[in-house]
Amino acid sequence: MRVIVAGGGIGGLTSALCLHRLGHEVIVLEAADVIRPLGVGINLLPHAGEILADLGLLSALEAGAMATRELVYFNRHGQRIWSEPRGRYAGHATPQLSLHRGHLQLGLLRAVRAQLGDSKVVTAHRVTQVDQGASGVRVTAEWPDGSTAEVEGDLLIAADGIHSRIRAQFYPDEGPPAYSGRVLWRGISYSRPFLTGASMIMAGHQNQKFVCYPIGPVRADGFQPINWIAELPVPQMLQREDWNRPGVLDDFLPRFERWTFDWLDVPALIRSADAVFEFPMVDRDPLPGWTHGRVTLLGDAAHPMYPVGSNGASQAILDADALGRALSREASPEAALAAYEGHRLAATAAIVGANRGNGPEQCMQLAEERAPQGFGRVEEVFAAGELEAISKSYQVLTGLQRPDALDR
């Protein structure tokens, strides 16, 4: 089959590789003129890493990334609530990789170009519409000068991100993403390693949170790239979400000025970033369906979710793998798209819902509610087994663990 993929992001490029491997002809239409290494840090969880390992990409990505050793939650006083090993340190076959989004996207892009051919990634083609007949799809793409081109194929996979035009075509009344009332400021700072040098930390609670983790090895000067995210409530969303919008330190740094812990100096880390980006935390309600005949949605186009639990990129990669498996199993393309949706829609809708309730980060919120001034021992705040149960139920929900895995 000839499959058209709208969007050359993480989900679209992984789909292209999965479908090409099955012998399909794939063409990726990307809106940007040039695919640049945009964004800051992102995480690849072990189940998504296994899919990239299978595609032969993991070792190249691992070089230049950080294999995260542990995830540690703290309260706003810098006191440790819970920690758990991650990736290979937790017994998975593949690591949890923390890396620059550009490293991941360009790694996928290089593989697509090498395996499918340069001409199969067509930039400056913004997909605006799809029409379909009994045996195929006709996709309209807009060039930067406003003129249009039409591309024909057997299937369209819409991996065109949170502002998906194809999703809007099928759900014209849906409107913009739903604002959570919270804004994220994101940056990368070069700093000396903290804790194990491979630790991901989250501190605070749902109304004031700081997350950071290294995304690359320590350089010769002893510094390491550390991705961070500061989160605060902002009742009214002032500007529409744009991954590349610059942020202003004065809008959030004063609130973190006193977060100097003996294991991390948060204000110093924030100050040392070269650039700061601002992004309102948004998601969308789960849809009743992704598939319309020979067209389906994938990744953020299908299930944008709060960036809780490091799931955005990983779930898009799981989608791509599930789509490939369904296409190789089912007799007709329509049946395959329906099977893919059957496998993935409810699973990702559950994560959207769990992330609205803070996902595994609810342990920080509970600590704040139960012990706002901090605690002597964490056991005074949580019942025996409570923290393990929070962690485990989210890992099972997101497909990272078998239900019995933490019982071993």
Ligand X SMILES: Cc1cc2nc3c(=O)[nH]c(=O)nc-3n(C[C@H](O)[C@H](O)[C@H](O)COP(=O)(O)OP(=O)(O)OC[C@H]3O[C@@H](n4cnc5c(N)ncnc54)[C@H](O)[C@@H]3O)c2cc1C
* Bridge partners (DSSP) listed for residue 189: 226, 273
Kind and range of the H or E run holding 12: helix 10-21
- Nearest-angstrom CA–CA distance, 234 and 202: 20
Q: Which of 212, 157, 138 is nearest to 16 (CA)?
A: 157
Query: In this chain, which of 4, 17, 26, 30 binds ligand X, going by CB under 6 A?
Result: 30
Judged by CB under 6 A, the stretch of 83-91, 145-153, 306-314, 356-364 that binds ligand X is 306-314
- Fill in the amino acid letter for 136: G
Q: Which of 395, 400, 403, 360 is nearest to 47 (CA)?
A: 400
Cα torsion angle, 237, 242, 246, 249, sign: positive
Q: Measured from the CB atom, is 72 or 320 closer to ligand X?
A: 320
Q: Measured from the CB atom, is 161 or 333 closer to ligand X?
A: 161
Query: In this chain, which of 40, 230, 297, 364 binds ligand X, going by CB under 6 A?
Result: 40
Inter-residue contact 296 to 158 (CB < 8 Å):
yes
Judged by CB under 6 A, the stretch of 168-176, 288-296, 300-308, 384-392 that binds ligand X is 300-308
Interacting positions 97-116 with ligand X (CB under 6 A)? 101
- Nearest-angstrom CA–CA distance, 156 and 53: 26
Interacting positions 311-350 with ligand X (CB under 6 A)? 312-313, 316
Cα torsion angle, 296, 301, 305, 309, sign: positive
Q: Measured from the CB atom, is 80 or 113 closer to ligand X?
A: 113
Binding mask 144-183 for ligand X (x = CB under 6 A): ---------------xxx---x------------------
Query: In this chain, which of 20, 24, 86, 126 binds ligand X, going by CB under 6 A?
Result: 126
Binding residues for ligand X, total number by CB under 6 A:
32
For position 31 contacting ligand X by CB under 6 A, the verdict is: yes
Min. distance of Cβ 43 from ligand X in angstroms? 7
Please state, as a whole number, how many other Cβ atoms lie within 10 Å of the Cβ of residue 221: 8
Judged by CB under 6 A, the stretch of 8-16, 51-59, 114-122, 379-387 that binds ligand X is 8-16
Question: 228 φ, ψ to 5°?
Answer: -140, 155
- Nearest-angstrom CA–CA distance, 228 and 203: 11
What residues line the site for ligand X (CB under 6 A)?
6-12, 29-32, 38-40, 42, 101, 126-127, 159-161, 165, 186, 243-244, 299-301, 307, 312-313, 316
